[in-house]
Amino acid sequence: MAEKLLEGICPACGKALQIPEELQDFSCMYCGRRMRRDELVLPETETDGAEALQFAKEHILECVRGQRDLRNAIRKDSFDETFLRYEQEHGEIFRKLEAACLAEPERSEQYQEELVETFLDGLEALWSQEPKHKFAMEDDKVIIAIYLAPMVRHLKLRCGENFASLLQSRWVERYPKSPFYLGSYEELSAGFRKKYLGLCFITTAVCRQEGKPDDCAELTAFRTFRDGYLRGCPDGPALIAEYYEIAPAIVTMIGVCEDAGLAYGEIRRRWLEDCYRDLQAGRMEDCKARYTEMVRTLERQYLQ
């Protein structure tokens, strides 16, 4: 008896595939992409482009609506799991967009533009119902920048990169004073595993933004302070461990949700210049108090 085959298109490379019907997980024989059965794009002859697009339009707000608590998971011990769960819950929306674009390739750009405009118009309608409109917009921008746009790119759809870029550019056109920048899941995840331990993580990011080398006098002074005075304080090791949990998330948020040059310039003027002067003058306890205030303030600003 002939084996029953499921026909479809790889969402990553666009090649036609024939998969044994009983398989739930498999790899594309052309590009190696690992996928589930429900990720396989139906052949063009079996897909109604307008219908698939309508599904995406009807559900795309779900990617943001009710998702603001996800910013609490932007930590090194929870981000990966949360991101992949988010992708599992919302990836089908963009696989439908992909199906629409593959079914009617001559309308692919139009379909993507329609979905972006539907999304942004829908967000504005939601914000208009909230008393603190600006805060609502900023909260949703975080979800878009940290989860939605990187998810679309991570799905490896043929329309993914273009859609993410289109979403980012149209957002900036509408809200030039509140931009976000495209990041990838791989970059965001790796950011939590960098080796700039504890206290020096934010200082390192500021110095690198300014083009200073990793062994500059400022970073050397902060590392000496961390490994000497601070580690020797009764609460020092706990503070260093806490900074290590918080600082990567703060740097990640600044990298994709802010103008990094402006943000790091403000951090330097408000805290780091005085911290460095404290170190040069031997005022170790003052530096400790000032740096702790900085981390607490940035935590409230970016992670709560």
96 shares a domain with 144: yes
110 and 131 housed in the same domain: yes
Q: State pLDDT tens for residues 19-34.
A: 888 888 889 888 888 8
208 and 172 in a common domain:
no
- Total domains, the chain: 3
Examine the fold and report which residue of 155, 173, 189 is the final residue of a domain before the chain moves on: 189
User: Domain check: are 58 and 172 in the same one?
Assistant: yes
Q: Copy the structure tokens of residue 56.
A: 């995406």
Mark whether 168 and 263 lie in a shared domain.
no
Query: CA 232, 233, 238, 243 torsion: positive or negative?
Result: negative
Residues 214 and 226 in one domain: yes
Q: Which of 148, 165, 189 is the last residue of a domain?
A: 189
Q: Which residues of the chain have pLDDT under 50?
A: 1, 45, 197-198
Residues 35, 48, single domain; the answer is no
Q: Which of 158, 189, 220 is the last residue of a domain?
A: 189
Same domain, residue pair 126 and 207? no
Q: What is the pLDDT of residue 199?
A: 57
pLDDT reported for residue 1: 45
Residue 121: per-residue pLDDT:
98
Q: Do 221 and 165 reside in the same domain of the chain?
A: no
Range of the domain at 285: 196-303
Q: What is the pLDDT of residue 71?
A: 87
Co-location of 254 and 201 in the same domain: yes
54, 172: one domain: yes
Assess whether 67 and 17 both reside in one domain.
no
Other Cβ atoms closer than 10 A to 155? 23
Q: What is the pTM (predicted TM-score) of this model?
A: 0.80
